[in-house]
A and B are shown apart, each in its own frame.
Chain A
Amino acid sequence: MVGSLGGYDMQFDFFTWFGGLWDWIYGILLWFWAIIKWLGIWILDIIDGIWILASIPENFMFLFRAIIMPGLIFLLLALIFTIWFTRKIWARIQDRRGPTHLGKYGGYQLFADAIKLMGKEIIIPDKAKAWLYRILPSLLLVIVLIPFAFIPWDPYWNIMGPPGAAYGDLSVSLVLVFALLTAVPVFSLLIGWVTGSKYSLIGGFRAANNQFAAEIPMVISSVGPAMLAGSLSLFSIVAAQTSIWYIVLLPINFATFMVASIASVGTFPFDAPVADSEIIFGWRTELSGIYFTVIYFAEFAEQMLYSALMVSLFLGGFNGLPFLPGIVNFIIKWLVVYFIFTVVTSSFYRLRQDQIVHLCWKYLIPLSILNVVLVMFAMAYLPWLVPLVVGG
């Protein structure tokens, strides 16, 4: 045979080919097995590494604190209690009874509501950006939960620990908390923007407007405690309040901080972003099912966070009755502040957006500056006050 192969007779031997097929399949299987084995070893190595890191006592305790107490699990339980507490207070003020049926005094109502909400169909509007719609609510919750790491619950048993410890509090934790909280209305605005409804877009801009109005008085109000304690670390501010709680020297700043924080959360007197008689449910209008649940939790977590910040900045944090553990002192004050917070939120008519800005800029900023300046003069002219204020 003569052909283009140069006289070389090309013949396809089927049986030889078939015999080699097994080798070929076996090779592929080996190759896959190698990949699986490599992946398994890699994951085991990571677990190993984590275990090695976690088995160091400081690290293990940090993980325990961050996940269980006073970390995620504790916060979840506190959140469940807080929502029940809020609903009960609102109901009592509104001449109702609130949840009564599920559990003792309606304590399990939240579980029923959460299960109901999660069981609902998730309707993503055509005009919405679907992946942003899905991811933004959870990011919002994460952003709200991170600042809890810096709350000094107890002299020793914190997530971040005292400043000298292995995972000590940052020297600028107050600034970091405000930085994280500033991101919250950005998420509100984004959710309002991507969910593809005019109502939610207007609500998103109103949320941004609220933060725009409330942030400056809030930061100025927190300048007072930071200045008195000489530190921007939340733990150091609390530790400096062993002799005097700063609310004694900064009562106006406490009030302005509370009003500004309510405005920043965007709950009742300042609920223009979610005003139901104007823009249905504001930036939350199009959220449904689990996404709405997450947003709902984030709102209450933010209220809890602001109450905890008020306790740490003005009410002496873990300082209090000496025979009680620090965290118990903290939680008692936290409940009191949260109660006041909730009563304020259910006693006023909704303010318009321009009125919110007027209130925050015309009244809250001068008042908060006034209190800071007064305390500066007190420090300068009353020298016996200084050792009381810096603690010890």
Chain B
Amino acid sequence: MSPDILDESCVIWFGPQHVSAHGWAAKLTLVGDYIVECDPNAGYFHRSAEKCLEFRNFRQGSMILERICMMEAFLGEYPYIAAVEKIADLEVPERAKIMRTIMMEFNRIHSYQFWFGQFAGELGLFAMLLWPWVDREYSLDAFEQLTGSRHTVSYATPGGVKYDFTPKFLSKMDIALSRCRNRMPLFDDMLAGSPTFRLRAEGVGQYTAKQALKWGLSGPNIKACGIPMDLRKDDPDPNLAYDMIDWEVPTIHNEDHPGECDAFDRLHQRFKEIETSLDIIEKLLPLLPEGPIIDPKARGKANRLPEGEGYGRVEGARGITTVWLKTMEKAQTPWRAKIRGPCFASYYSLKHIVPGARFADFPAIFGSLDPYPGWWDR
């Protein structure tokens, strides 16, 4: 850009008190209605989760993790459990593996239900903000029935899970999932079928698969470009049940712009993700065997861990979520914990995606990338 354009520019802060930028702030340089420069800033949401982890024992640590992003609480807490299980070399019973996986997919569905509402609200339709959130209430009711907590479920524990599935929970989950399944055509109609939504989302915030790989995007944001990059398939966790069943990694291949994705494709990708999750739960439920939900010796083993390093990672609702733990001999707490959230990449990719867009398209772009500040500030 030539300097004389910047003479007429206007710098505007999008956050941290902005209503749709809760916990982050991007400095936008506007020329007329166009954004010529976007400078995302981190640091408004820092709660020193990594340091907190050093003062929690191995059964408490996951509860810090799930407070980072409330919408995908179980997906956020699982990498910690996986890392602890790798260090302590714990065996997880078959039943617990399947229950963890079901809960994980259920949590993913809940996270996307929340996201639909948020995205529609950012594009200005308040009805569509509240409709998915009503469905979300049913999911939360099921979580509450199982664990006693609506968001922060704390379901997994090193060596298994904490609570067994009850008939009441199964019926509540069935209600929540069937409601989700029945309302998907309606939401498809309200989002993808709405002409005004297509006007706002199509051709907005485009990037290619190559750029997405370069910026380190993951999860739905990269699958929308047509790259079937999914940890559930690529590196199935031995303590989860993804390799027990057949399922397809959902990707988008758009005829108009192959190898690229815009905000509309990213929405479509998340619809497909919900369908895949429903499919996985449906296939896993009949496989649920009888048996214990936790190895009785695991509880003792998780009290003091041997020296070692553990690295747990999981395909979260927003992308790859990992936790790295380093323990000393007979450790009660980790010596060092490192969290790698999925949203740092999607937040800082705004710097490259946003310039050239109209100011009014900015909510559509960041909404479709779904950055959550907890994941980069921790």
Residues of A within 8 A of B (CB): 90, 93-96, 198-199, 202, 268-269, 271-272, 275-278, 280, 346-355
Contacts and interface: CB of A to CB of B under 8 A. Distances in A.
B124 A271 contact: yes
Given A90-B126, A277-B121, A352 B131 contact: no
Contacts of A355: 199-200
Contact of A199 (B12, B200, B360): B12
Contacts of B237: none
B200 A352 contact: yes
Contacts of A277: 19-20, 121-124, 363, 367
A171 to B, nearest CB: 41
Given A95-B134, A277-B122, A349 B196 contact: yes
A349 B196 CA distance: 6
Contacts, number: 78
A235 B360 CA distance: 42
Interface string B47-74: 0000000000000000000000000000
Interface residues of B, number: 30
18 contacts: A94-B126, A199-B12, A268-B124, A269-B124, A269-B196, A276-B20, A277-B20, A277-B122, A277-B363, A278-B363, A346-B126, A347-B125, A348-B125, A349-B194, A349-B199, A349-B200, A352-B358, A354-B33
B16 to A, nearest CB: 13
Contacts of B359: 202, 278
Contacts of B134: 95
A354 B360 CA distance: 10
A199, A275, A280, A352 — most chain B CB neighbours (10 Å): A352
B213 to A, nearest CB: 29
B278 interface: no
Interface in B124-156: 124-127, 129-131, 134
Chain B CB count within 10 A is highest, among A280, A349, A352, for: A349
Nearest to B17: A280
Contact of B124 (A95, A96, A349): A349
B127 A94 contact: yes
A94 B131 contact: yes
A349 B123 CA distance: 6
B123 A278 contact: no
B18 interface: yes
B130 A94 contact: yes
A306 B313 CA distance: 58
A363 B228 CA distance: 42
Contacts of A202: 12, 359
Nearest to A272: B360
Interface string B150-180: 0000000000000000000000000000000
A361 B12 CA distance: 30
A350 B361 contact: no
Contacts of A198: 10, 12
B335 interface: no
A354 B361 CA distance: 11
B33 A353 contact: yes
A292 to B, nearest CB: 15
B19 A280 contact: yes
Contacts of A348: 125, 194, 196
Given A269-B124, A275-B124, A346-B127, 17 more contacts: A198-B12, A272-B360, A276-B19, A276-B20, A277-B20, A278-B363, A347-B125, A349-B123, A349-B125, A349-B200, A350-B125, A351-B196, A351-B199, A352-B200, A352-B360, A354-B33, A354-B358
A271 to B, nearest CB: 6
Closest 6 CB pairs of A and B: A350-B124, A349-B196, A277-B20, A277-B363, A277-B122, A348-B196
Pick the most buried of B121, B194, B360: most chain A CB atoms within 10 A of its CB.
B360
B197 interface: yes
A288 B276 CA distance: 48
B36 interface: no
A199 B363 CA distance: 15
Contacts of A349: 120, 123-125, 194, 196-197, 199-200
B309 to A, nearest CB: 43
B127 A278 contact: no
B125 to A, nearest CB: 5
Contacts of A268: 124, 126
